[in-house]
Amino acid sequence: MAKIEIKGLIKKFGKLEVLKGIDLQVEEGEVVCLIGPSGSGKSTLLRCINCLEQPTEGSVTVDGDVLTDKKIDINIARENIGMVFQQFNLFPHLTVMQNIILAPVDRKIMSKNQAIKIGMGLLERVGLADKKDQYPSQLSGGQQQRVAIARALCMGPDVMLFDEPTSALDPEMVGEVLDVMRELAEDGMTMVIVTHEMGFAREVADRVLFLDGGYILEQGTPEQIFGNPQNERTKSFLEKVL
Amino acid sequence: MTFYELFQQTMPMLLKGAVITLKLTIVVLPLAVLLGLISCLLGMTKHFKFISNIYIAIIRGTPIIVQVFFIYFGLTQFFRFRMTAYTAGVISLSMNAGAYLSEIFRGGIQAVNIGQTEAARSLGMSYSSTMRKVILPQAFRIVIPSVVNQFIITLKDTSIISVIGLMDIVMQAKQIIARTYKSFIVWLLVGCVYFVICYTLSKISQYIERRLSVGKNRN
């Protein structure tokens, strides 16, 4: 069974229809990159996967949990879906370590001591163990984003969603964040990534989806999409960004 | 009568009034914060929002002196009961400051970036946990200057209570002037007493603000 299964997803904001019927399956361990012009619905699609945006119609199933079912405890379902934001969204009043352990302890997934131990391991993994007692404002953008990834991972999610994780970063900090994501992909994490980093998508993605106007217009392996795009709009988009 | 003699005679009375003013303020402020919080929380619900809206509209739409008279003279006459001037003062000042604090709290909560809520909710935290552990601690820091400002306004608003006969600084001053006719000096001294209290309060708040600015997002 697919790790993420989206059927007939429609999302409207008032009268504006942003997603016009999306069907998507993501297998376990698969890395899917969403590309497309701004306003195409990439971020909205991503945010529908953990129901930060409530889908107007259609169903979203992640790891067997039907998130669009009203009876489901959305908080428990979200424990399993990590998300990383463009603006990092670290909690500015908490230290790095407090940021990481807040949710796992609040959700009673682990004790505080356990969380600190796991958090320490994750910080080492993203190369920021020495920053654990600093506040987010004392870190660079790249460091903040790596902390945000560690924070999401501390919940032990099966799926990770990335919403333009490098778009707010200075160019020289993009690499360090992509390195962490690359490692995560190699470890077999199921990932859905909205990105403008075409080079990264080409290298890491198992599948690339091109969205425009609320539809998935084209999808395939990075070789197919970047090497030999079929759809006219995909072609013109790639010409502009590559 | 020299200035020094007048000062000597006047200050003890004014300070006695200042004690009443401070006592009233100290009772009113926690009550106002409580009312403000309740109103703010009601304002965030779907079904009870109207209570908060009506409350704030009434308080904002009428002068405080009318509120004081209405509670002290109006309500007591209509419902045929007695109330001390002190009680009426506490009720009217708390309700008045509560409405303004409610708006300040709401503004503080709204000023916290929506991304904070999204991050916490995406980690599986419930709405109430998100509020308590992520939003309110940040909103708290944001509202401190405005809350202190409201505290100072309320402290000064206690001077209104002299109209219903409470012996606060203003009432003491009026009586001294009735005896001595020294308007200029007495009102100047009254101003000084208020100034010292309010200035001290704002300095304390600046100190608290500085202490709390640790880890503040400077992006």
Inter-chain touch B215–A93, beta carbons under 8 Å: yes
Residue B217: pLDDT band (50, 70, 90) is very low
All residues of chain A having their beta carbon less than 8 Å from the beta carbon of residue B117 are none
Q: How far is A241 from chain B (nearest CA, A)?
A: 28
Asked if residue A71 has pLDDT above 60, the reply is yes
Tell me the average pLDDT across A12-33: 96
CA pair distance A62, A6, nearest whole angstrom: 9
Q: What is the mean pLDDT of chain B?
A: 91
User: A238-242, B64-68, B118-122 — which is least confidently predicted?
Assistant: A238-242
Give the model's pLDDT for residue B66.
96
Tell me the average pLDDT across B135-139: 94
Tell me the average pLDDT across A183-206: 95
Pairwise pLDDT comparison (A150 vs A1), residue with the higher score = A150
Contact yes or no for B125/B133 (Cβ under 8 A): yes
Q: Residue A215: beta bridge partners?
A: A212
User: How far is CA B28 from each of CA A58, A145, B92, B153, rounded to the nearest angstrom?
Assistant: 53, 45, 9, 12
Amino acid at B90: V
Inter-chain touch B215–A76, beta carbons under 8 Å: no
Tokens of B35: 């009312």
Give the model's pLDDT for residue A29.
95
Domains and CATH numbers, chain B: 3-218 (1.10.3720.10)
Question: Between β-strands A215-220 and A207-212, what pairing exists: parallel, antiparallel or unpaired?
Answer: antiparallel
Inter-chain touch B217–A137, beta carbons under 8 Å: yes
Amino acid at B189: L
DSSP A130-158: GGTTS-GGGS-HHHHHHHHHHHHHTT--S
Complex prediction ipTM:
0.93
The DSSP output letter for A227 is I
Give the model's pLDDT for residue B153.
94
CA pair distance B4, B15, nearest whole angstrom: 16
Residue B62 forms contact with A (CB below 8 Å): no
Tell me the average pLDDT across A159-174: 95
pTM for the model: 0.84
What is the tens place of the pLDDT at every residue in B107-123? 999 999 999 999 999 99
Asked if residue B216 has pLDDT above 80, the reply is no
All residues of chain B having their beta carbon less than 8 Å from the beta carbon of residue A77 are 124
Q: How far is A81 from chain B (nearest CA, A)?
A: 7
Asked if residue B218 has pLDDT above 70, the reply is no
Residue A56: pLDDT band (50, 70, 90) is very high
CA pair distance A163, A174, nearest whole angstrom: 14
Residues 6+ apart with CB under 8 A from B133: A102, A106, B120, B125
Tell me the average pLDDT across B139-154: 92
User: How far is CA B201 from each of CA B59, B85, B152, B196, B210, rounded to the nearest angstrom?
Assistant: 25, 26, 7, 9, 14
What is the tens place of the pLDDT at every residue in A108-139? 999 999 999 999 999 999 999 999 999 999 99
Question: Between β-strands A65-66 and A57-62, what pairing exists: parallel, antiparallel or unpaired?
Answer: antiparallel
The minimal CB distance from A137 to the residues B134, B141, B216 is found for B216
What is the tens place of the pLDDT at every residue in B172-198? 999 999 998 989 999 999 999 999 999
**H-helix or E-strand containing A217?**
strand A215-220
Asked if residue B24 has pLDDT above 90, the reply is yes
Burial group, residue A198, by CB count within 10 angstroms (0-12, 13-18, 19+)? middle
